Amino acid sequence: MDEQDSLRFLTLDWFLYDLSEESSETVASKEFPAGDLPDPLDGYIKHQKIQDSQMVQIDCSGIKSEVKLLQELKNIQQTILNSSKKQEKTSLGKVGSSWLVWGQLMSDEQSPVKLAQEICTQLQFEGTSPNWQVDLIAHGPLLGATLYELWCPPQAQGEGESYHLLICLFESHWRKEALQKRVGNLLNQCQYLFLYRHKVVWAFQQSRRLRESLEQPSRLVPQVTNQSLARLEQSEVNLTELQDHLRQSLNLLAVYATQINYLQEQRHTIEINLENYRQRVIKLAGLSAQDSPKPPDERVGGWQGQGSSLLFEKFSQFAENKYLRQIERDYSSLSPGLLLVENSIKAVESLNQIEQTRSDQRLNTTLTIASVGVATSAVVATVIVATPPPNRHQLEFQITTIVGSLIVGGLMSVLVWYGLHWNRK
């Protein structure tokens, strides 16, 4: 066995994350039942609920043996992928997934960077392979090891080729017990670090979908506001059409406001998880500083004080400069449309109230005039009928009475209408 291409305890871990829901937990239990991998494989499957998320970790070292060639990684990865009870692609990892390769150098003569590059050639992710020159975003000392981080970011809405890989190569001088302690710290901290990282990326992908869904409502904003202005300038307003326009504007406002609020929620999600990510990096760096065998003034990478997060700083900067700023720009460009719709609705509501008042006044006036006319007719008819002339035919007298009372009632209605009209002037 070529020692230059070998590592002790070579292990591959796959971390998958989903929102913690009953369905995701059920799927995780069915696809990846928790427990040790079957003999002769060395590894396990672990489920854990972290805050509002569900994690599945598959750890595998292949066939049990202390020393392994790097070429065995390809089979180990395939074993992990085949450990699912589901024949087709797993539905887990909707929030994100990360791969972690770790092992111990055989001797100080081995080059960590060459080993890491060789490891990349052995791994294959969905639709893509690691590109060392393009995808390497961080490297440095951590927990008595040399760490390399590679990342191919997903496209805006999560489509396309993407992966996240950490390679951690421990120095050859560590005894097995000390190595186990460091690996335990690494795995424990990484499960949180990966979660916060993926939730940042996932929230940004959600914001891109929201931005796309807001394109149609945002195009309707000028149309709605222009229609509102046109109705305000009309000398005669159709109350039914005005109310229909108001109803459409309110529907647009409801959709627009809801999506804008969701966009802000994704921004807050990124801010919260980015802060959690930074705090977890500082904690991991603190553990590394405690275990460092070198004096504090010789430590590489500045693992104490402000320099403790330098190793993972690139992702923090990337998320802040691209993700947060993009959402802030989107919100700044879209939120004025919300104000325009709100103001146009207020104006249309005011016009609607005015027209409704006018309509009510006209109805009241009509009822008043009609009431006066009817009452006058009734009084006249009652008076005439009460004193009928003795020499008139009864049918002729009744017809004359009805016609006369109607004429008098109509004249009184005209007089009342004229009086009301004169008072308004």
The whole-number average pLDDT for the span 252-271 is: 87
Residue 278 has what pLDDT? 92
Give the pLDDT score at 101. 98
Instruction: Give the pLDDT mean for 143-156.
Output: 89
Q: What is the CA radius of gyration of the chain?
A: 39
Q: Is the pLDDT of residue 363 over 60?
A: no
Which is more confidently placed, 283 or 218?
Answer: 283
- Judged on CB neighbours under 10 Å (0-12, 13-18, 19+), 233 is exposed
Q: What is d(CA 133, CA 125) in angstroms, rounded to the nearest whole number? A: 17
The dihedral formed by the CA atoms of 306, 310, 312 and 314, expressed in degrees to the nearest 10: 110
The pLDDT tens digits for 196-233 are 999 999 999 999 999 888 877 766 666 666 665 565 55
Maximum distance among all Cα pairs of the chain, rounded to whole angstroms: 143
Per DSSP, the residues of 199-243 read: HHHHHHHHHHHHHHHTHHHHHHHHHHHHHHHHHHH-SS--HHHHH
d(CA 129, CA 99): 13
Tell me the average pLDDT across 34-60: 93
Q: Which of 283-292, 293-302, 391-400, 416-425 bottoms out in mean pLDDT, i.e. has the lowest?
A: 293-302
Residue 218: what are its φ and ψ, rounded to 5°? -65, -30
Task: Specify the pLDDT at position 392.
Answer: 54
Do 68 and 6 contact (CB within 8 A), yes or no? yes
What lies within 8 Å, CB to CB, of 240 at 6+ separation is none
pLDDT tens for residues 171-190? 999 999 999 999 999 999 99
pLDDT tens-digit profile of 27-43?
A: 788 888 889 999 899 99
DSSP string across 288-349: HHHH--S-GGG-TT--SGGGGGSTTHHHHHHIIIIIIHHHHHHHHHHHHHHHHHHHHHHHHH
Dihedral sign, Cα of residue 183, residue 318, residue 309, residue 130: positive
The dihedral sign for the CA sequence 276, 278, 282, 287: positive
Average pLDDT score, the chain: 78
Give the Cβ contact number of residue 343 at 10 Å: 12
130 versus 368: which is more confidently predicted?
130
Region 40-62: mean pLDDT is: 93
Percentage with pLDDT > 70 across the chain: 62
Asked if 192 and 308 touch (Cβ cutoff 8 Å), the reply is no
- Residue 271's pLDDT is what? 96
Please answer whether residues 129 and 52 qualify as being in contact, where contact means their C-beta atoms are separated by less than 8 angstroms. no
Burial class of residue 55 in the structure, from the number of CB atoms within 10 Å of its CB (0-12 exposed, 13-18 middle, 19+ buried): buried
Please give the pLDDT value at position 307: 37
- Would you say 101 and 61 are in contact if contact means Cβ atoms under 8 Å apart? no
Prior bond of 40 cis (ω within 30°) = yes
Check whether 267 has a pLDDT greater than 70. Answer: yes
Query: For residues 107 and 7, is the Cβ–Cβ distance under 8 A?
Result: no
